[in-house]
A = this chain, B = another copy of it.
Amino acid sequence: MRDMIAETVCVGTEILLGNIVNTNAAYLAGEYAKLGLLSYAQTVVGDNEERIMETVRTALTRSDLVVISGGLGPTQDDITKETVARLLGREMRLDEVSRKRIEAFFDKRGRKMTENNLRQAMIPLGARVLDNDNGTAPGILIELTPEESARFQKEKRGLQAVVLLPGPPEELTEMWEQKVVPYLQQRTGDVIYSAMVKVCGRSESEVAEILDDLIRQSGDVTVAPYAKTGEVHMRVTARAEDEKSAKKLVKPVVKEIKTRLGDSVYTTHEETTLEKAVVDLLLANGLTVTTVESCTGGLIAGRLINVQGVSEVYKSGFVTYSNKAKRKLAGVKKKTLDKYGAVSEQTAREMVNGATLFNRADVGVSVTGIAGPDGGTEEKPVGLVYIAVSVCGVVTVREYHFSGNRAKIRSHTVAAALDQMRRCILKYYSKLTFGKEE
Contact = CB atoms under 8 A, between A and B. Distances in A.
A55 to B, nearest CB: 7
A345 interface: no
Contact of A21 (B21, B297, B300, B311): B21
A44 B45 contact: no
A304 interface: yes
A22 B19 contact: no
A42 B15 CA distance: 9
A78 interface: no
B42 A18 contact: no
Interface string A286-307: 0000010101111111101110
Chain A contact patch, size range = 35 or more
Contacts of A16: 29, 39-42
A317 B315 contact: no
Nearest to A44: B42
Nearest to A38: B16
A328 interface: yes
Interface string A118-152: 00000000000000000000000000000000000
A98 interface: no
A158 interface: no
Contacts of A393: none
B40 A51 contact: yes
A314 B308 contact: no
Given A40-B51, A41-B55, A226 B302 contact: no
Contacts of A373: 308
Nearest to A39: B16
Contacts of A21: 21-23, 26
Interface string A32-68: 1100000111111110100100010010000000000
A190 B406 CA distance: 36
A175 B46 CA distance: 27
Contacts of A304: 297
User: In this complex, which of A227, A299, A316 has the most chain B Cβ atoms within 10 angstroms of its Cβ?
Assistant: A316
B51 A45 contact: no
Interface stretch (A243-251, A318-326, A426-434): A318-326
A309 interface: yes
B318 A325 contact: no
A341 interface: no
Given A29-B16, A224-B17, A406 B317 contact: no
B316 A321 contact: yes
A223 interface: no
A400 interface: no
Contacts of A311: 321-322
A168 interface: no
A242 to B, nearest CB: 26
Contacts of A302: 296-299, 302
Given A25-B22, A321-B310, A321-B315, A40 B30 contact: no
A316 B315 contact: no
A44 B18 contact: no
A27 interface: yes
B40 A43 contact: no
Contacts of A329: 316
28 contacts: A16-B41, A17-B29, A18-B29, A18-B31, A19-B30, A20-B226, A22-B25, A22-B42, A40-B45, A40-B51, A41-B45, A43-B43, A43-B44, A291-B298, A291-B319, A297-B298, A297-B302, A297-B304, A298-B299, A298-B305, A302-B302, A306-B410, A308-B373, A309-B374, A314-B322, A316-B325, A316-B328, A316-B329
Interface of A: 15-23, 25-33, 39-46, 48, 51, 55, 58, 224, 226-227, 291, 293, 295-302, 304-306, 308-311, 314-322, 324-325, 328-329, 359, 372-374, 406-407, 410
